Amino acid sequence: MARPTAHVLTLLELLQSGGTRTVAELADRLGVDGRTVRRYVQHLIDLDVPVESVRGRYGGYRLAAGYRLPPLMLNDDEALAVLLGLIASRRAGLLTTTGTASETAAAKIRRVLPERLARGLDAVLDSLAFTAPPGEATAAETAVVLPIADAVRHHRPISIRYTAADGRRSERTLHPYGLVAHNGRWYVTGADPGIGEDRTFRLDRIEHARTLPGSFEPPDGLDPAQRVLSGLANAPYRHEVILRIQGTVEQIRARLPASVAIVEEPPSTGDTDPGTERWLRVELRAERLDWLPPVLASLDRPFVIERPDDLRGLVLALADRLATSAHTDRLAHDRNP
């Protein structure tokens, strides 16, 4: 059920389309009764929207001649939320049959925003890569996102105040390559000139970001999304798992994506079909191992566990439980045909 505020806004859109609208027509369009329509009209009048009442057989309500909605007023957080929602819905396939609704809506919003905010949002959208459907969201401050996106777009260094997972705080300089949205989190990847290495940081752990003087040149052929995924797959965890799985890269990636595992392909002989099933080396790191046996079972491909030994025990335990369940079901059926 639509909220009253949504109904009031819909009423305003109907009146702004022109002409006089009868109470019966408005009630039908809004799915409410005539008394509620009059209450919504009073809400608009209280907001200084000049709604006129027209008496007579064909009477109803209309807007005063010449009235137009004021320019769209969104703050930084609201504008970023709206545009990112439209972009995410397009990537998720949540479009109308024409496939253009989100694009035209984004363009309309972009046209009426103040130039400063519009440039900042353009920078975010230009520098942002999506790697997966959204997961459980972790908020990133707009005051952090906008300056980093601008620095990515114009190849400028930034200074960030960062709190690591263990609670350590630091301030460092970064040459940002790009923003990446992955599983509900925002990341920035770039070069840390202080240590001479590439680094990836979660934006929700950045307290402050400011642009520094100067500029830098990003590497050729850069793929920020791939850098983030590789960094997540190589992050230090309790267990290092090495497998050999017979199949194609696509079959393995269906259960072990790039953010979880590294799949090493043997050198190509030149006459090998990319879809040919081969024994591939798979490496991943994990804090826990209990989730891996069901994943390996769902792959339905031959596999060999090189390490750790603990994983072999968990796989055997899962196999025993499945065999026991299957045997129990058959016995129950034999007793109760």
**pLDDT-wise least confident of 59-73, 210-224, 286-300:** 59-73
Which residues, 6+ apart, have CB-to-CB distance to 208 below 8 Å? 143, 144, 160, 161
Where are the domains positioned within the chain? 4-63, 76-231, 236-267+274-326
What are the pLDDT digits (tens) for 110-141? 776 777 777 877 787 777 776 555 455 566 78
Is 46's pLDDT higher than 80?
A: yes
Is 143's pLDDT higher than 90?
A: no
The CA–CA distances, whole Å, from 288 to 302, 308, 335 equal 22, 12, 40
Domains 4-63 and 236-267+274-326 share a fold: no
Give me the CATH code for the 236-267+274-326 domain, please.
3.30.70
Query: DSSP secondary-structure letter at 289?
Result: S
Per-residue tokens: 299: 């792959």
pLDDT band at residue 302 using 50, 70 and 90 as cut-offs: very high
In the chain, % of residues over pLDDT 70: 77
282 compared with 83, residue with greater pLDDT: 282
pLDDT band at residue 336 using 50, 70 and 90 as cut-offs: low
User: What's residue 17's pLDDT?
Assistant: 74
Are 158 and 178 in contact by the 8 Å Cβ rule? The answer is no
Per-residue tokens: 307: 């390490």
User: What's residue 294's pLDDT?
Assistant: 92
DSSP string for 97-165? TTS-HHHHHHHHHHHHS-HHHHHHHHHHHHHEEE-SS--S-----HHHHHHHHHHHHHT--EEEEEE-T
pLDDT band at residue 54 using 50, 70 and 90 as cut-offs: confident
Is 95's pLDDT higher than 80?
A: no
326 compared with 73, residue with greater pLDDT: 326
Give me the CATH code for the 4-63 domain, please.
1.10.10.10
pLDDT band at residue 96 using 50, 70 and 90 as cut-offs: very low
pLDDT, mean over the chain: 79
**pLDDT-wise least confident of 11-25, 196-210, 258-272, 281-295:** 258-272
Is 304's pLDDT higher than 60?
A: yes
User: What's residue 100's pLDDT?
Assistant: 55
User: What's residue 137's pLDDT?
Assistant: 52
Q: Read off the pLDDT of each residue in 257-275 and give the average, rounded to a whole number.
A: 69
Is 5's pLDDT higher than 80?
A: no
The CA–CA distances, whole Å, from 176 to 42, 77, 116, 129, 181 equal 51, 22, 21, 13, 15
Q: Is 141 left (phi over 0), alpha (psi -120 to 50) or beta?
A: beta
CA pair distance 49, 41, nearest whole angstrom: 9
Q: How many CB atoms lie within 10 A of CB 277?
A: 13
312 compared with 326, residue with greater pLDDT: 312
Is pTM beyond 0.75? Reply is no
